[in-house]
Amino acid sequence: MDKLIITVAPVGAETTRQDNPQHPYTVDEMVHEATLALQAGASVVHLHVRNDDGTPSQDPARFQAVMERLQQLPGGGPIVQISTGGAVSATVEERLAPVKVLEPRPEMASLTCGTVNFGNDVFWNPPDMLVRFAETMKARGIVPELEIFEAGMITNAMKLAKQGLLPEHLHFDLVLGVPGAMAGTPRNLLFLVESLPSGASWTVAGTGRTELPLALMAILMGGHVRVGFEDNVYYRKGELATSNAQLVERVVRLARELDREVATPAEARQILGIGETR
């Protein structure tokens, strides 16, 4: 089994300090929160940014500021994975802007593989948009993390692969438990993993109370794990997490108990095939 890649998603576009007062908003807060999570064992940062008032942003300058600081960390820092999902209110151009202009280019970016209900909203990702996102990433040598909220999105991803728009090694993020999308049940995780092409790697991002049980399953099954305030703001029922690092630390403890070693950023790059397309 490969070593375990832990991705931290320190903040998404939806939850705020009203949900958990520890949400990072400013550049300094983002860097601080991500750094503690890395020290705890995360090797990938799935990066959304916020304005100082907490509203979601896709401003490339904001991404650049956080990314540069993370890259200065010992050992070259984590793998930075830019969110192209943004907020449901973001335009296509806003979502794509950071992957087009950031220098140096980010190593990874998320690529959601279809349209899905998202709470009371719709997360809009029609086929032509997927092609455009995949083409933009390919042109810059940015490795996509293929985000899967529903089973049909795997079929959509394979269509992009057939069109030659994806790297040889495919890496998926199985996002389960989003209200309006596929529930975060063990059966759904097993089904999705069995539906992936052979040789692909996968991470699970269980939202809310599904984060922990699905993380445990992934550790046992040879998958990888994402945790963080984007997906879940609680440590356990009725108890808010004190930091993203606290959520990472728990995954590290579980992995150690189960004799699964945790990957460094350099080891994560090897597992994800990063470098081959750069």
Asked if 210 interacts with ligand KMH (CB under 6 A), we say no
**Cβ-Cβ contacts under 8 Å for 257 (sequence gap 6 or more):** none
Asked if 83 interacts with Zn ion (CB under 5 A), we say yes
Asked if 232 interacts with Zn ion (CB under 5 A), we say no
Asked if 202 interacts with ligand KMH (CB under 6 A), we say no
Asked if 22 interacts with Zn ion (CB under 5 A), we say no
84 binds, among Zn ion, ligand KMH, none (CB under 5 to 8 A by kind): ligand KMH
Asked if 81 interacts with Zn ion (CB under 5 A), we say no
Of the candidate spans 77-85, 155-163, 182-190, 263-271, the one that interacts with ligand KMH by CB under 6 A turns out to be 77-85
Peptide bond into 104 cis (omega under 30): yes
Residue type, 152: G
Q: Cβ 90 to ligand KMH, closest distance in Å?
A: 8
Among 57, 58, 83, 210, contact with ligand KMH (rule: CB under 6 A): 83
Among 84, 136, 207, 243, contact with ligand KMH (rule: CB under 6 A): 84
Chain length of the chain: 278
Angle of CA points 28, 74, 63, to nearest 5°? 40
The string of DSSP letters for 2-71 reads PPBPEEE----SS--TTT-TT---SHHHHHHHHHHHHHHT--EEEE-EE-TTS-EE--HHHHHHHHHHHH
Strand pairing report for 121-123 and 116-118:
antiparallel
Point out which residues bind ligand KMH (CB under 6 A).
Answer: 12-13, 83-85, 87-88, 110, 112, 118, 123, 147
